[in-house]
Chain A
Amino acid sequence: MTEPAAATTAVVHPEPEGASAPRPRRADRAATVVLLVLAVVVGAPVARVDTWWPTLTPTTTRGDVGDVVTAGPLRVRVDDVRTGTTLEDGYDTLTTGGVWVAVDLAVSASTREASIDTLELRDAAGRDHEASQRAGNRILSRYVDPDVPEAGTVVVEVPERALDGDLVLRVLTEHQDADLDRPQAIAEIDLGRVEAPAAGTVVEVVGPALVPGGWDA
């Protein structure tokens, strides 16, 4: 069983004749060093391999109210933000235990037909409030053409405490699944501080319509 070690020693570290006693110990040290180097050489890239892969990290583009913000396949511009305690969405009158936030925006594709996947409001505490599924929110289901903006209203239901700080509108352009997938591009538009509505304020939804003159108007 000692022959391979002796043979290895003879190849790696030739010893003069008569010095056979220390060979096994030196061979062990050499093997240890080789294994350590091997562990570092293999382990270092393995630890970094995730960073070499094509990244799934979302790209985020930021802007303010009035800016045309391009995020991947979409362009978005927020024109106005309104609030109310009751919503008239064109079909029903909807009450809430919180506040309705209505965001008037325009949206177009950037290169080819596209649509918004998810729209949400992030409050100052980092909580994300997705667009209401109780209301129609028809602009969210429309496919828009490149640089042919359509305007409409998206309504989000939030607790009143969400208005204690700034709000950020987040428009996600690809399927969002917090467990498995990550969105490809996000437009984040700073809405600033949004005033709470007076009791009984009704907010109405504006239906989707082409923006006369397009983005240049």
Chain B
Amino acid sequence: MRAVTTTAPRAARDVPLVRAVVGTWPRRVALGVVVGVVAGTVAAGGLARHVAADAGPARAVAGEAVATGPFDVTVRSWTVTDAVRADDLEGAGADAWLVVVVGADNADRESRRLDRTAVTLPDALPGGLALAGDAEPDRPDPTLLVRDASAYPLLQPGLPEDVALLWPVTLPDAEGADLDGGPDEPLTVTVPEFRYRDMTVGGGRRWAETGDVVLVDVPPGDVPPGIVDPPEDEEDW
């Protein structure tokens, strides 16, 4: 053991506690290891506030922008209507459209369409609504620019626009349904987050879902006038 001990620095010899801690090389090494472990734990976020595994996904309130990666998405309102693209309802086997209105600000460096998975509906829809035909909860179709009802709008970077996402739905009582009043309960939707990453297959880079999502309770709202079908006489003209 004598072979591995050395003489402590003069300052350390003058202070008993310091001499006790760094008096020999094994102690100095041990102290270094302890300091290193603590520093490494702090640097790795080991002392961050604990989040319980069952805490679930993050939540945002309606009207609050959610940074998804390629877009800042603000979920505004939802409604049910048959006054939009009424001619397409029969082909979709639907009674009406479930419409979710979002604000979308393209945060990317190039023009892009809102990701088709930008908003996902819950498994159980309120009011007895059910998705019609082949509709999928994470695939709204079509999407319309609220400003002028352009389909599948190409959004420019830094130029926010409101976009209506449509899903075809069936109503529990289609015959006696009165859609004028709209729904009266909130709808909880899921907004996934994306990360720009290298693709291992095929090469290149693209926005890929991270698996993290944000839940938003969406209040009911009105149908944006810009996407409502024009009156028939005007359409015929």
Contact = CB atoms under 8 A, between A and B. Distances in A.
A94 B149 CA distance: 11
Contacts of B91: none
Nearest to A158: B156
Interface string B129-149: 000000000000000010110
B157 interface: yes
Contact of A129 (B157, B202, B204): B157
A127 B150 contact: no
Given A128-B110, A133-B150, A134-B148, A180 B156 contact: no
Nearest to B109: A127
A198 interface: no
Contacts of B206: 178-179
Contacts of B161: 97
Interface string A89-129: 00010111110000000000000000000001000001111
A168 B90 CA distance: 46
A128 B203 contact: no
Interface centre among B148, B153, B157 (most CB of A within 10 A): B157
Contacts of A134: 145, 148, 150, 153
A127 B158 CA distance: 9
Interface residues of A, number: 23
B199 interface: yes
Interface string A132-146: 111000000000000
Nearest to A179: B204
A120 B160 contact: no
A129 B148 contact: no
A97 B199 CA distance: 35
Contacts of B111: 120, 128-130
A157 B148 CA distance: 14
Interface string A29-49: 000000000000000000000
Contacts of B202: 179-180
Q: Looking at chain B's contact residues, is the secondary structure mostly helix, strand, loop, or mixed? A: loop
Interface string A178-193: 1110000000000000
Contacts of A120: 110-111
B199 A94 contact: no
Contacts of A130: 110-111, 154, 156
Interface in B91-143: 109-111
B51 interface: no
A92 B156 CA distance: 20
B158 A161 contact: yes
A162 interface: yes
Contacts of B110: 120, 127-128, 130, 178
A158 B106 CA distance: 12
B157 A97 contact: no
A95 B149 CA distance: 12
26 contacts: A92-B148, A96-B159, A97-B147, A97-B159, A97-B161, A98-B156, A98-B159, A127-B158, A128-B110, A128-B111, A128-B157, A129-B111, A133-B150, A133-B153, A133-B154, A134-B150, A134-B153, A157-B156, A157-B159, A158-B159, A159-B157, A161-B158, A162-B158, A178-B204, A179-B205, A179-B206
Closest 10 CB pairs of A and B: A130-B111, A179-B204, A159-B158, A159-B159, A127-B157, A128-B110, A98-B159, A179-B206, A129-B156, A134-B150
Given A92-B148, A178-B205, 7 more contacts: A97-B159, A128-B110, A129-B156, A130-B110, A179-B206, A180-B202, A180-B204
